[in-house]
Amino acid sequence: MIRTRFAPSPTGNVHIGNIRAALYNWLFARHQQGQFLLRIEDTDRERSTPEAVQTVLAAMEWLGLTPDEPPVYQSQRRTAHLTAAQQLLESGHAYKQDKGATGKGEAILFRMPGQESQFTDLVKGPLRKAAKDMTDFVIVRSDGAPVFHLANVVDDIHMNVTHVIRGDDHTENTFRHIALYQALDAPVPAFAHLPMIVNAQGKPYAKRDGDAFVGDFRSNGYLPEALLNYLALLGWSPGDDREVLTPDELVAAFDLDRVQASAAQFDLRKLEWINGEHLRKLPRTTHREHYRRAIPQADRDPAYLDAVIAVMEDRIKKWSDIPIMAGFFFSEDYPYDEKAVQKRLHRTGALELLGALREALAQCDPFSEETTEATLRALVTARGVKPADCIHPLRIAVSGLPFGPSLFAMLVVLGRDRVLQRIDRTCNRFAPGKE
Ligand code: GLU
């Protein structure tokens, strides 16, 4: 039975690189009908506060990465770690370093076997390290505290972990860990080290590059299934051209064979796109709920709300876009994008043209996408101007924004009266001398 585990050191935030490690462990275990476990490596008492642990648990729960057994807390396994150290001392694989006069007690060091070490990483392929590059190392500090390497290996043995899937930064440690397994007479698990997540400059992706923690994505309106989908693709591909996959589809397709060894570049635009695709699959009621939550006035007219949702569907990429991108549908007091006003409305003739467009639109009957578009095109031809000279000012006048859904669909949802009033108000407000 395949058993994988996620072994975070809680620090109060969960970096996407860590949660991607959790995800790959989870996907691999599920795909192989194995088990996925969680071990909280909370031996750093300063950082591993109960709140920090809670943050890890909450992130995993939100993403649906449910472990198959209750979590193991490393801090509660100290006796087992020290027993293992004792066993290593007795078998001659470890020795005490006398601190002598410092009186600080004796550290315990592991004796490296003095031969070349090699293993085949499931992502990086065969790796080796010469004996001279591996020195003895501390497994129990002079204050009696077990060191990471010992605790990590002893706990993986205890949890019967068959596959250790973790970040690239642990590749070098693995040579030491393998020597520990062997000295403890335990089967050596398979190892897979995942590529780093980097920014556009190829440096490790960090908070200063943008959202980097699971909590950021959650509070910014991303869907857990979209974040999972995106993180799965950050270093792996399903082997076909699918990019939008549900968690079940990811499980069905996942394999360590197609995990890339080279660094994976974080691309927020792609995540947004994937999130938008997942949003569109959600039922209308969920969309309504989020609109109501973001814009209290959205509740007033259910038919109008549905029309707005339909027209905004392919524009809303995450829930937090709703108030910014769709707020204008529900308020006459919408803000104007200053740059857009500067560029499009403060041009010579722009307001006069907008006024002419208003008069033409007032004649549209019915007020449909076809008639409003034909009206605008006719005016463009009659005046010998560019379509953009009409389209942009009109969009800004009725929405305040330089971007948004299809202009003519948006006009129809707003309705003729609102559109005409909004144009009037805009012309008034930005008429020369008014500001
Ligand atoms: N606590 C270690 C980390 O978060 C775990 C390494 C491992 O997965 O073995 O980097």
Residues in the chain: 435
pLDDT band, very low/low/confident/very high, at 100 (cuts 50, 70, 90): low
83 with 150, same domain: the answer is yes
The chain-wide mean pLDDT, for the chain, equals 96
Residue 107, pLDDT > 90, answer yes
**Cα-to-centroid distance, 165 and ligand 1 (Å):** 9
Are 98 and 239 in a shared domain? Answer: no
Distance CA 144, CA 390 (A): 76
| pLDDT band at residue 102 under the 50/70/90 scheme | low
> Where on the phi/psi map is residue 236: left (φ > 0), alpha (ψ -120 to 50), or beta?
beta
Angle formed by the axes of helices 407-414 and 387-399, to 10°? 40
Per the CB < 8 A criterion, the answer to whether 181 and 153 are in contact is yes
At 324, which helix (H) or strand (E)? helix 321-326
Same domain as 28, residue 10: yes
pLDDT for 424 beyond 80: yes
Give the lowest-confidence range in 42-51, 185-194, 205-214, 376-385: 42-51
Query: What distance in angstroms lies between residue 140's CA and the mean position of ligand 1's atoms?
Result: 18
User: Which atom in ligand 1 lies closest to the alpha carbon of residue 166?
Assistant: 8
Measured N-to-C along each axis, helices 224-233 and 50-63 cross at an angle, to the nearest 10 degrees, of: 90
Among residues 194, 212, 247, which one ends one of the domains? Answer: 194
Q: Per the structure block, which two tokens stand in for 277? A: 């695709």
Give domain status of residue 201, yes or no: yes
Cα–Cα separations (whole angstroms), residue 14 to 19, 164, 169, 210, 315: 7, 19, 16, 14, 29
Regarding whether 187 and 107 lie in a shared domain, the answer is yes
pLDDT given at position 345? 95
Pocket of ligand 1 (CB under 6 A): 7-9, 41, 152, 164, 166, 170
Q: Per the structure block, which two tokens stand in for 258?
A: 């197609």
Measured between alpha carbons, how far is residue 139 from residues 85, 88, 174, 175 in Å?
Answer: 7, 10, 14, 14
User: Band of the pLDDT at 271, cuts 50, 70, 90?
Assistant: very high
Q: How far apart are CA 18 and CA 24, in angstroms?
A: 10
Distance 8 CA to ligand 1 centre (A): 5
Query: Which amino acid is present at 56?
Result: V
Average pLDDT value for residue range 57-79: 98
119 three-state secondary structure: strand
- 219 and 206 in a single domain? The answer is yes
Name the residues annotated as catalytic.
207
Residue with tokens 């590749």: 171
Q: Mark whether 45 and 103 lie in a shared domain.
A: no
CA distances from 383 to 36, 306, 423 (A): 68, 37, 19
pLDDT score for 435: 57
What integer pLDDT is reported at residue 105 of this predicted model?
79
Query: For residue 372, what are the domain limits?
Result: 338-429
Query: At 404, which CATH number?
Result: 1.10.10.350
Whichever domain contains 159, its CATH number is 3.40.50.620
CA angle 394, 324, 414 (to 5 degrees): 40
Residue nearest to atom 4 of ligand 1 (CA): 8
pLDDT 10s digits, 1-50: 999 999 999 999 999 999 999 999 999 999 999 999 999 999 987 888 99
The rounded Cα 427 to chain-centroid distance in angstroms is 43
pLDDT digits (tens, 9 = 90+) for 272-331: 999 999 999 999 999 999 999 999 999 999 999 999 999 999 999 999 999 999 999 999
Ligand 1 atom having least distance to the Cα of 6: 8
Task: Give the per-residue pLDDT at 244.
Answer: 98
Total count of domains within the chain: 4
275 is a domain residue: no
245 and 357 inside one domain: no
One domain, residues 86 and 172: yes
> Higher pLDDT residue, 94 or 45?
94
Q: How confident is the model at residue 99 (pLDDT cuts 50, 70, 90)?
A: low
Secondary element (H or E) of residue 137: strand 137-140
Whole-angstrom distance, CA of residue 165 vs CA of residue 188: 13
Atom number in ligand 1 closest to CA 5: 8
Mean pLDDT of 44-64: 93
State which of 5, 9, 26 you would mutate to test the pocket of ligand 1, scoring each by most atoms of that ligand within 8 A of its C-beta: 9
Residues 90 and 152 in one domain: yes
| Mean pLDDT to the nearest integer, 251-262 | 97
Inter-CA distances, 371 with 100, 227, 246, 351, 398, Å:
93, 41, 41, 22, 17
Check whether residue 144 and residue 190 sit in a common domain: yes
Element (H, E) at 426: helix 416-430
Reported as a single tens digit per residue, the pLDDT across 351-369 is 999 999 999 999 999 999 9
User: Do residues 408 and 373 touch, judged by C-beta distance below 8 A?
Assistant: yes
